Structures are given as C-alpha cells and as structure tokens.
Structure 1
Amino acid sequence: MRVPVSLFSDRPLSKCATVFQPWTAKSSFNILKVSRYSRDPLFSIKRIKKAKKWSERALPVWNLLRFWPKQQLDASMADTFLEHLCLLDIDQEPITARNTSIICTIGPASRSIPKLQEMVKAGMNIARLNFSHGSHEYHGETIKNIREAVETITTDPLYYRPVAIALDTKGPEIRTGLVRGTAEQEVELERGASVRVVTGEGDRDSTDGNVIWVDYPSLPQVLEKGGRIYIDDGLIGLKVLETDWVEALVESGGVLGGRKGVNLPGCDLVDMPAVSERDEGDLRFGVAQGVDMVFASFIRCGQDVREVRRALGPFGKDIKVVSKVESRQGVHNFLEILAESDGVMVARGDLGIEIPAEKVFIAQKMMIGRCNSAGKPVICATQMLESMVAHPRPTRAEGSDVANAVLDGADCVMLSGETAKGLFPVESVTMMHSICREAEAAIFQQQLFEELRRLTPLSNDPTEVTAIGAVESSFKCCAGAVIVLTTTGRSAQLLSRYRPRCPIVAVTRSPQVARQAQLLRGVFPVLFHPLPAPVWADDVDNRVYFGMNIGKARGFFKTGDMVIVVTGWIPGSGHTNIMRAVHVP
C-alpha cells in the first residue's frame, strides 16, 4: 500500500518545485524509497540519511507522482548492482516508450502490404531483405510494398515511423545446391550414413541422400581428415573421412533443403573474396533502390569493410555499413572492423558454429560492450524468438535471451525466420516489443551512465559535451524526453551513446537521416516537412514545437512535463551546442 503524499503548495503541479514532508513516518526505509524517485545519478542515499530536516530531502513533486508506482526507478538508481537486483519488482509497469529498435526479416510470410502495415504498427523499425535468397525483381517488389505500407500510415502520429530498409548481402559464404534441382525438394540424411561432397559445376543439381553439392571449388584443399562440415546453421554435421574426393560421415542427421549455408570451422578461407561478383550486383541494385543500410556478411577484417564501401561507389556513400561478425577471424579482428564500420551485428548463427557454442555469449558481451564504448550501434541477431516460427508464444529461455541482449546494451534486436517464414510474424514483433520495454525498465541506469561518461575520453567537441550535459540533465529533472534538432543525425547518435532513460525525439528534414536513426537506441526520428522559416530562430522554434506535439501524441510526455531541448546556435550541421530545460506548453 502506497502512503499518500501531503502537498503544502497551492501552485499548479507543473510549477511546484518541491514536496516537503511526504509522510509522518520517519523510518529509514521510507527515506530510502523516496530517494530513488529523484532519478538523480548523483543523489546518494548517504546524503539523504545525513539530511537533518525534511526541507533538505525535497524532491520534485511531479517526479514523485509520475514515476512512483512504475518503471523500476528505485532499482535503476540503486547504489550497488546487488541492491539494484534486489529492488526489481515484477508488479511495476514497463518503460513508457521502447528504446530498442526491432529489425524484421521480410519474406514470404510478411511481404504483403497488409501484413507489413500490421508489423509497422506492432513496432518494426527496420525491414531486412536477405539477398542470399530471391531475385532482384522479388526484392524490388518487396521494397515497393514496404514503402507503400509505411505511406498508408504517415498521417497517424501514434503508429507512423520512418521504417529503414536494410540489404543483407550473401557475402563470401558457402551454400549447398538445390535438392534434385528444385527448391521445393528435401532429403533426409540419416546418422551414420556416408555421403560425398562435390563441387563440380556438372554436379550442381545432383544433391540427394548420397551426394551433396557445395559452391566452393577449393573445398578439398582446405579440409583435413577428421575435420567437420556443418550445414544449415549446424543442424546437420558431417565428419570428413577422405579429402581427395571429400567423403564424409553423417554425425548428426536431419532434413536437408536447397541452398543451405555451409560452415567449415577451423578452415582458413583466404581465397574467398570479401565482395563476390554477385554481391557487387546486389549492392548496385540496392543503391538504385535507395536502401538505407547494408548488413555486410562474413566480415573478417577492416579491409573487407573497405571493399564493401568501394563496391557501393560514390552514389552509395551515404549508406550505412553494418558489419556482420560471424567467424573466429572476425572476433579476433573486431577492433579494426569496428573502426571501419558504422555499426556491428552479432550474428550468432554462424558464429555459434565457427566457435564453441558455450563461448558465444562471451563474444556477444564483448562486442556489445566495445560498441557501446565506441558509441556505435550494435545489433543482436539469430534465434531470438525461434520457436515463434511455429508457435504463438516463445519459450521462457528465448524471452530471457532477448531481455539479456537489451540489458547487455544492444541498440537493436533482430527477428529472422520468425517474420520471414513463420506463422506468427506480427505476434513475434509484438512479443519482442513487450520484452524490450520490460528489460529497458530494469537497466541499472545510474551505473550505466556513470561508466559511459567515465570511459569517454576528454573532448573539446561542443556537440559531444552538450550531449553529455543533456543526458545528465534529463536524469536530474526526470525529463519526459530529449528533443534534438539534427541535420546529419550525429547529434542524435551522441545523445544515444550516453543512454538516457527517456526517449530522444530527433527532428530532421532528411528522410534518409530519419530512417537511418532507427539503428540508434532510444532515438525516435521525426520527419519535419515544412520549408525553413525566413528567420532562423523561428525555424528552430517550429521544429521544437513539432517534436513536442509528436511526443505528446505518442504519450512520451504531457503538458507541464519537463523536456530537454538540444539545438545549434547557427544554421547547418556541426554546430550543436545549446541545451535547454523547458516545460511542455
């Protein structure tokens, strides 16, 4: 039972600065509880206990009333990690606005316009197109459907979001051929059976229960006796018996379909190009279609990222390159990959085959941590809600997996087969949305912000300094949102780097910047269409008020709440240096 608060002020709620003696009980427990709702990272419990009179324990009244029963605020501002865990409460409400972006793979189950509309309303931020499958005509039609689906809800401020389109390259991967020459055929490989693995062009359509064709001519040269070949994300495992003609024993059997991925753990595939001829054609197609980002598969070093940028050419220079790390070599070269990339995807499917499964979580945490430290977006992907391909609810372990990716610091979480071919694509997005909201409320916010600030090198960049101050101020005044005006998206990315608890409403005139901002944790891009006002100060006010109206419509804050506004002092990009704390009119 909550103790009622006594207010000793006749001023309007939004104007009232403090609340005096909140209750007559003077137990240290009550004092400790009320201190949590200050949301002040520097507000120590020890300082509260040392206060000699109630006026020194004054707290913003609107903060107390607004956040008292919900959003795990007492836990998020704990003094220690153990105390943070002890204060988590299953009966508190989740965070108001989901900050983690959801990436959905679009396939046969989800490419229709009505289904895409449902997925956008359910929370899809980025649509991923897997170019390992499908023709350019197929993907061109899918892109058209995505844009039509988004356009139909443009006027609805509650559901509209500028959905980004990501092209996922085939990359330097190895795949099997079609079973008996057709995409619909499958074959059962029984445990203990012997099979031949062939690479000749004449055997391309010969895959059956005795022969498996793969598209890697150098296969006999890189294999060793006793080595392993894994097919279809490791569902089928072969042990190499002979390398001259590649005979193998089926150690773990299963159903083999066409065009399945092949992994050769421990093999050095130095002759495989970073960008294949097919990839170059796909990237040119993506540039022509105006995709917003590329998920570059099987990136092994920094040079591979540079090759992808070269293939994009001058017309694709503004496309974001997100490197998929899915091999041991990529993990070892992670820092140079990160330096060359706009973001990173922790692609756990192939990574879990290339390295021992029990070490995948170590690689995941390391990569997410280094991306957070560098201020670059990171995606956690593969088998997050895998059981929802066939079932309407995930397993408990899958729910915990998504939540832990959010707690680790992922900017985005990704759905693959769940939305591409599953029976419940919309339900999968809805479930992931709900899990992310609950997980974000349970983040140890005080520790996170302090560590991010401490690890950041000293900077004389006005934009970064302003971003740090804005995020800290958002904690101190319990802001409903940070509203930032951005031309290139850099200011929004710097704010996202320091992980404010409230949403970041990024107002921009650039459609591409708005879509690409979906990669960033906590950023809600808003597209401002009107032409600039003749007086620049008026134009700033117009954009700020537009962001406020959108924030109120989406329920981020209401009239009278405090928001932080971040702007520049002159027109153009690179001049962000003003932070204001204002009440929403």
Structure 2
Amino acid sequence: MSKTSVVATIGPVSNNPATLSALRQAGMTVARLNGSHGTLDWHAATIQLLRETVPDVPVLLDIPGRKIRTTQLRVEPSFLAGDIVILTTDTSHDGSQKVPVNYDVFHEKLRTGVRVYADDGTLSFIVDRIDGRDVHLRAENAGTLKSRKGINVPEIDLGQHLVTQRDRDMIDFARQHGVDFVGISFVESAAHVEAIRGLIAGNTPQIVAKVENQGGLDHLEEIAQATDIIMIDRGDLSVETSVDHVSLYQKRIIAAARTHGKPVIVATELLHSMIENPLPTKAEISDVTNAVIDGATAVMLSGETAVGKFPVEAVARLRSIVTLAESHQQQRAGNAYAPADLRAATQALATTLPITKVVVLSRTGYAARLVAMAGIPQPIFIVGSDPALARAWQLLPGSVGIHLPALQVGSERASTIALQALWQQGLLDEQDIVLVAQAASDNALSSLNQLHTVQIGQLATEQGWRATVEA
C-alpha cells in the first residue's frame, strides 16, 4: 500500500467515464478541480461524474481566492519583447485590444516601473504607464497571454481582503456538492484559515492552505498549526519569492507540515513535459523522488491530466516513481514528528510489536490524522460513520477510509463492531495482529482515547464471527 497520494487535476481531456476509470486504475487517489477554470455548471457536472464513476475518490476544489487572473478571453494576444500589452479592469473587453483582469482596483495599486508577471512567471512585463483603468505593460519576453492565467506583482501589496465574495460563493458551492477539500490561495495567516473555516462550519470540506508567497513563508508555523492540509504551489511561490529558492522553500514547508502532523501536497510541473510527451524528463523524476523522500504525503498533476496528451500515462508514471521512492525511503519511522499524544504512542507500538495492520476509529478525523501522520509502515484502515470524512481519509498517507454508518466511536463495542466489519470485507484475516486506535475526543489527554492490540483469529473465535454470505 503506497503512502503517497496522487492528486490528478480533472479537465477537458479527463472528465469522461473511461478516462476517470483509467486514472483511478493507474493510481489516482484524489481528483482536483481548478475553480479558476470552467463554469460552476461544468464543475457540478464533473463532481457528479466523479461520484458516479469513481465514488471512493475524494474531490479537491481549488477556489480562486485572492489570486488575480485574466478573464475568459475571446482573443488571446501574442506579442514580442518590447511590445505594449494593456491590462484593464474594464471587463467589457475581450482580449483583442485590452486584456481584462478580475480585480477591479488593480489599476489603482500599481505604479510605473513595477514588474508584473503572468502565467507562473513565464511572462514578464514592466509597467510603462497607467491611463484610467488601463495598465500599459512593456513585454520583457515574447509570448501569448491566455485566458484565466495568474497575474503576480511581488513588489506591491495589492491590499486584497482575506475572504472575497467569490470565496463565499465557491465554498457554498463546495458544501452543496459534497466536495471533500477546498484549496485556498495565498494563505498568509492562521486568521485567513479560520475565516474560511467559519464559512465551512463543519468537518468537511477540509481546508488545504496553499503556501505560495512570502507572507505564507513568514507565517508558516501558524498556518501549519491552523490548517488541515498544506499545499506547496511552486508556480506562484517561484514568482512571488525567488525561483532559485523554491526547492529550499519546499523542504522548509514539508518540515513544518511534518512537525505539526499535517499532510502536505507538492504541486506544479511535477511531470510537466508529459503534457506533450509520453515520458518525463530525468530531472522531473528526480524532483518527484526527492519530494517523497523529504516527506511529501501527496504529489499533484495539473496540466498533465487536465489538458495533456497522456493523462493516464502521467498518473501511472507518477505512481511508479513515488512507489520506488518510498521503497528507498525505508520508512524513517516518522522521526521528524513531535513526540506527542496518540501519534507518538502509535508509532512506538507499531514499530516495537509484531503489528500487521492498524485500525483507527475516528469521529471527527482527529485520530485519523494523528495516526496516519505517525510514519508507521503498516496499512491503516480508518473507520467512521461520516461518509464525507471516510472519503477524505484517502489523502492521508497509507490509509483507506471505511464508512460504517451505524458506528458509534467511543462506545463499548465500537472496536469489535469495526473489526468484524473489516474481517467480513476481507480487509483483515485470522493471522493479523491489529493495533486499534480510538479517539472519541479531540483532547489528546482524554481517557476516551485508547490504544490496544487484537489477534483477529482469537477474537473471531471468541465472538463466533461468521463471514457474510453473498446473496
């Protein structure tokens, strides 16, 4: 069982039943939707298709947040170095003369001489002059400015609100359609995370805080403590800080996530060459391998599976690379994790006793995360009564979420009921020695939080279990 999740972005080439099934078979564990592209109707239809085709795959919806982008363009202008390109906050334009952006006071925040980047820094401009709502940019390199591409201005604080109306609308949409995770762009504080959590008002969708600028790096520890999951968006991070430092920042962010016991997703250009080619470069393979060895719990494909020519091959290749990296890693026993609560106890027992599998009973996901992030080598089965949480647990390293509707975590017979269900499903057998973790309270010191071991064959005999007979 692989410890590393593979997140695949679903787009025009992959939102059909045949490709989704093939992606799942190839190793996709999480499906990502980019809320900056496509209409809400498109996303709603794609979520429904995912639920029908690959119902066990959780859905991550990246919402635009404070990220500034070009709008949907009828004409995508091409230009040479030295040409003038006009950005405007007048959204009536279509790209033929001027390119609209989605931030209505963008023109008020800039000044002459400031450098503006687009499309993950591949396009660079200098502000030549500002005329009303129009920002005249002089191109520093040739290229094409496309629809829905990110705009970055690292030199200036653009003064955006923590939560936009678009955020509110997208979170309402995510809740209505049973999305499992929401990705939040340009998170710079725990207050930003808590503002989003207040809008969610529940256990799901879980929050993926995207660290992608200097503000995020400066407040990394508080973000890691507040969020459910961290994503390293290397595209914006390289533009907003320094492209030469991105690998070092990635290591720093992974280390912070591990210290706080939070899953961390590494994103952007992992197998970028596979958008056009059937094989990745050697540098891309090395990049993915080192991310896993450093402690990434998930790796993400973007254009490779959304618009690329080889989406299934990209997932299969990524799954192969991470499996080999895990083999080399030899499970470093979670030595970067802080010695605390259920996590440390689970790690100690799982590595000193002849445990073959670990079963976690979790009500809110607290115990699920603690145990899964303990860095143990055994397969982990996380059981709970919330179907959305059970799906979301697939993102945790080495874990399978199991939904048992009637399970009452914390009750006297909860562990016996869960173990019998897993045994009847063929996930446990008589030879297994299972470590059972149960957390009925989110308080790490609660007496309701328990660890015990079970020999399945002995328990099955004592309880008189019988395998479920197929109809």
Structure 2 CA distance for aligned equivalents of residues 177 and 384 of structure 1: 26
Q: Which residue of 1 aligns with 2:465?
A: none
- Displacement of 1:488: 2.7
- Displacement of 1:164: 1.0
The reply on whether 1:228 has 2:115 as its aligned counterpart is yes
The reply on whether 1:578 has 2:466 as its aligned counterpart is no
How is 1:322-341 mapped onto 2 (pairs within 5 angstroms)? 322-341=208-227
Q: Please tell me whether the aligned partners of residues 295 and 322 of structure 1 are also in contact (alpha carbons under 8 angstroms).
A: yes
Q: Which residue of 1 aligns with 2:374?
A: 498
The reply on whether 1:191 has 2:81 as its aligned counterpart is yes
- Displacement of 1:536: 4.9
For residues 460-512 of structure 1, the C-alpha deviation after alignment (integer angstroms, 9 at most, x for no partner) is x5xx1xx4333233323454322223333322211122100222122333212
Residue 177 of structure 1 is aligned with which of 39, 64, 71? 71
For residues 232-290 of structure 1, the C-alpha deviation after alignment (integer angstroms, 9 at most, x for no partner) is 111211122334563322112212222221111121011x1222222211211111111
How is 1:128-139 mapped onto 2 (pairs within 5 angstroms)? 128-139=32-43
Q: Which residue of 1 aligns with 2:170?
A: 282
Going from structure 1 to structure 2, the CA distance change for 1:567 and 1:308 (only over 3 Å counts) comes to: closer
Q: Which residue of 1 aligns with 2:239?
A: 353
Residue 417 of structure 1 is aligned with which of 297, 300, 303? 303
The reply on whether 1:564 has 2:434 as its aligned counterpart is yes
For residues 148-171 of structure 1, the C-alpha deviation after alignment (integer angstroms, 9 at most, x for no partner) is 0125xxxxxxxxxx2111221011
Q: Please tell me whether the aligned partners of residues 492 and 504 of structure 1 are also in contact (alpha carbons under 8 angstroms).
A: no
Going from structure 1 to structure 2, the CA distance change for 1:547 and 1:396 (only over 3 Å counts) comes to: farther
Structure 1 CA distance for aligned equivalents of residues 426 and 339 of structure 2: 30
Residue 249 of structure 1 is aligned with which of 138, 155, 159? 138
| Range with bigger deviation, 301-310 or 136-145 | 301-310
For residues 442-466 of structure 1, the C-alpha deviation after alignment (integer angstroms, 9 at most, x for no partner) is 22534x53442xx325xxx5xx1xx
Q: Which residue of 2 aligns with 1:543?
A: 418
Q: Please tell me whether the aligned partners of residues 58 and 391 of structure 2 are also in contact (alpha carbons under 8 angstroms).
A: yes
Letter in 1 for 2:88: V
Q: Please tell me whether the aligned partners of residues 103 and 128 of structure 1 are also in contact (alpha carbons under 8 angstroms).
A: yes
Residue 456 of structure 1 is aligned with which of 328, 334, 339? 339
Q: Please tell me whether the aligned partners of residues 566 and 576 of structure 1 are also in contact (alpha carbons under 8 angstroms).
A: no
Q: Which residue of 2 aligns with 1:111?
A: 15
**Percent of counterpart pairs with the same letter?**
34
Q: Identify unmatched segments of 5+ residues in structure 1.
A: 1-96, 152-161
Letter in 2 for 1:491: A
Going from structure 1 to structure 2, the CA distance change for 1:354 and 1:450 (only over 3 Å counts) comes to: closer
Q: Please tell me whether the aligned partners of residues 12 and 307 of structure 2 are also in contact (alpha carbons under 8 angstroms).
A: yes
3-state DSSP class of the match of 1:257?
A: coil
Question: Normalization by structure 1: what TM-score?
Answer: 0.71
Letter in 1 for 2:278: P
Question: Normalization by structure 2: what TM-score?
Answer: 0.88
Going from structure 1 to structure 2, the CA distance change for 1:387 and 1:559 (only over 3 Å counts) comes to: farther
- Displacement of 1:140: 0.9
Q: Identify unmatched segments of 5+ residues in structure 2.
A: 459-471
Larger Rg: 1
The reply on whether 1:435 has 2:321 as its aligned counterpart is yes
Q: Please tell me whether the aligned partners of residues 6 and 300 of structure 2 are also in contact (alpha carbons under 8 angstroms).
A: yes
3-state DSSP class of the match of 1:246?
A: strand
Bigger share in strand: 2
Letter in 1 for 2:284: E
Residue 265 of structure 1 is aligned with which of 129, 145, 154? 154
Going from structure 1 to structure 2, the CA distance change for 1:253 and 1:551 (only over 3 Å counts) comes to: farther
Going from structure 1 to structure 2, the CA distance change for 1:584 and 1:468 (only over 3 Å counts) comes to: farther
Letter in 2 for 1:140: A
Residue 525 of structure 1 is aligned with which of 401, 406, 410? 401
Letter in 1 for 2:181: M
Q: Please tell me whether the aligned partners of residues 269 and 302 of structure 2 are also in contact (alpha carbons under 8 angstroms).
A: yes
The reply on whether 1:214 has 2:120 as its aligned counterpart is no
Going from structure 1 to structure 2, the CA distance change for 1:145 and 1:425 (only over 3 Å counts) comes to: same
3-state DSSP class of the match of 1:252?
A: coil
3-state DSSP class of the match of 2:334?
A: helix
Residue 237 of structure 1 is aligned with which of 124, 129, 132? 124
Q: Which residue of 2 aligns with 1:508?
A: 384
Q: Which residue of 2 aligns with 1:53?
A: none
Q: Please tell me whether the aligned partners of residues 384 and 407 of structure 2 are also in contact (alpha carbons under 8 angstroms).
A: no
Q: Please tell me whether the aligned partners of residues 407 and 418 of structure 2 are also in contact (alpha carbons under 8 angstroms).
A: no
What is the aligned length? Answer: 452
Q: Please tell me whether the aligned partners of residues 474 and 564 of structure 1 are also in contact (alpha carbons under 8 angstroms).
A: no
Q: Please tell me whether the aligned partners of residues 266 and 296 of structure 2 are also in contact (alpha carbons under 8 angstroms).
A: yes
Structure 1 CA distance for aligned equivalents of residues 441 and 273 of structure 2: 50
Residue 304 of structure 1 is aligned with which of 174, 180, 192? 192
Q: Please tell me whether the aligned partners of residues 499 and 522 of structure 1 are also in contact (alpha carbons under 8 angstroms).
A: no
Structure 1 CA distance for aligned equivalents of residues 119 and 51 of structure 2: 32
- Displacement of 1:572: 12
- Displacement of 1:576: 3.2
Q: Please tell me whether the aligned partners of residues 203 and 364 of structure 2 are also in contact (alpha carbons under 8 angstroms).
A: no
Going from structure 1 to structure 2, the CA distance change for 1:116 and 1:499 (only over 3 Å counts) comes to: same
Instruction: Please give the root-mean-square deviation of Cα atoms over the aligned residues, in Å.
Output: 2.8
Letter in 1 for 2:322: C
Letter in 2 for 1:515: R
3-state DSSP class of the match of 2:140?
A: strand
Going from structure 1 to structure 2, the CA distance change for 1:567 and 1:302 (only over 3 Å counts) comes to: closer
Structure 2 CA distance for aligned equivalents of residues 292 and 107 of structure 1: 18
Going from structure 1 to structure 2, the CA distance change for 1:582 and 1:427 (only over 3 Å counts) comes to: same
| Range with bigger deviation, 187-196 or 398-407 | 187-196
For residues 526-559 of structure 1, the C-alpha deviation after alignment (integer angstroms, 9 at most, x for no partner) is 23357789x954x533422443565758xxxx76
User: Segments of 4+ in structure 1 off by > 6 A?
Assistant: 530-533, 569-574
Structure 1 CA distance for aligned equivalents of residues 246 and 163 of structure 2: 26
How is 1:38-187 mapped onto 2 (pairs within 5 angstroms)? 97-151=1-55, 162-179=56-73, 182=74, 185-187=75-77
